Amino acid sequence: MSFFDLYMNRNPLITSSDDDTEPVATVFGVPFDSTHSYKPGCRFGPDSIRDSFNNIEIFHPDLQVNLETVNIEDLGNTRHTVVASEMIDMVKKITTELVAKQRQLFILGGEHSITYGTYTSFPKETGYIVFDAHYDLRDEFADIKLSHASYLRRIVEERGSENILHVGARAFVKEELEFLKENNIKTISDREIRDGKGPRLVKEYVSTFDSIYSSFDLDVLDPAFAPGVGNPEAVGITSRELFDMIYPFQETKVIGADIVELNPYHDNGSTASLAAKIISTLIAMNLSPNQ
């Protein structure tokens, strides 16, 4: 055995204690933020999440799962492009290949537009639940049809709104509200979360699906909990409220998830640690013997 095996890891990629077993999950990053309208920088999100993930404790006593002893496959980042359509094309092809492998998949953003490339590469019957302070339902924004502000409209146009649940919106424009209503998109509002109804409503929704894909736009959280985002929107939900809505995912199987809009330029580490905990929790839930 070489000393490399003993002493070296592939850090800054996500590293596992055990590299020899079949991976329990696959991760890749999409460092894309070219359509960003306010504070750019979420292209640096994937590496920041990796760094935080490599430094948190990953034993879940409630779930009886010890992530220290499992293998997570990190494929690195997609090559650089500044063209949204190129990015989507690339992300769709990669995701499609990975979906075929039937391993829990995590995509690290990058801006929310990447979800248009990832979720639509999963089977049609997959439920979609997105946490976001915004609806991202504009028809066009800053002269472009496909951006972080319109990705969900593109998805609805392509797949319909049946399998979609939007959670936590608190800032939007009139045209988004109209599209939302016309398409009967299901929602859990900021107010419902605050009133404590979130977990039950999520549970009801996810239990109707065999498998779901979940998208976490971190700006759904109050900027106190997630300052490192491109569009901080005051007066959001707490991290406890978010995780209380994640635990009900145990009712179904999370086959894919993305964590988007993390902007390290404005983060102090809090946001990255939340992103890391979302990932470790979803993996642990997937592996839990209780499930």
Tokens matching residue 279:
């990932």
Do 59 and 68 contact (CB within 8 A), yes or no?
Answer: yes
CB of 218 or CB of 255, closer to a second copy: 218
Whose Cβ is closer to a second copy: residue 180's or residue 255's?
180
Q: Which of 47, 73, 219, 241 binds Mn ion (CB under 5 A)?
A: 219
State yes or no: residue 134 binds Mn ion (CB under 5 A): yes
Partner from Mn ion, a second copy, none binding residue 36, C-beta < 5-8 Å depending on class: a second copy
Q: Which residues are annotated as a binding site for Mn(2+)?
A: 112, 132, 134, 136, 217, 219
Q: Is 138 in the site for Mn ion (CB under 5 A)?
A: no
Q: How far is the CB of 219 from Mn ion (least distance, A)?
A: 4
Nearest approach, Cβ of 199 to Mn ion (angstroms)? Answer: 21
| Closest CB 129 distance from a second copy, rounded Å | 19
* Class of residue 8 by CB neighbours under 10 A (exposed 0-12, middle 13-18, buried 19+): exposed
Give 87 or 127: the residue with its C-beta nearer to a second copy.
87
Dihedral sign for Cα atoms in the order 40, 42, 43, 48: positive
Residue 61 contact, options a second copy, Mn ion, none, Cβ 5-8 Å cut-off depending on partner type: a second copy
Q: Least distance to a second copy from the beta carbon of 208, Å?
A: 27
DSSP letter for 56, please: S
Peptide bond preceding 12: is omega within 30 degrees of 0, i.e. cis? yes
Contacts of 86 (CB under 8 A, 6+ apart): none
Task: Check residue 50 for interaction with Mn ion (CB under 5 A).
Answer: no
Q: Which residue in 65, 88, 90 sits closest to 79, CA to CA?
A: 90
Query: Please, which of residues 92-131 interact with Mn ion by CB under 5 A?
Result: 112
CB of residue 209 to a second copy, shortest distance in Å: 26
Residue 194: CB atoms within 10 A of its CB come to 14
Size of the site for Mn ion (CB under 5 A): 7
The per-residue DSSP string of 247-264 comes to GGGGGSEEEEEEEE-B-G
- Which residues sit at the interface with Mn ion, rule CB under 5 A? 112, 132-134, 136, 217, 219
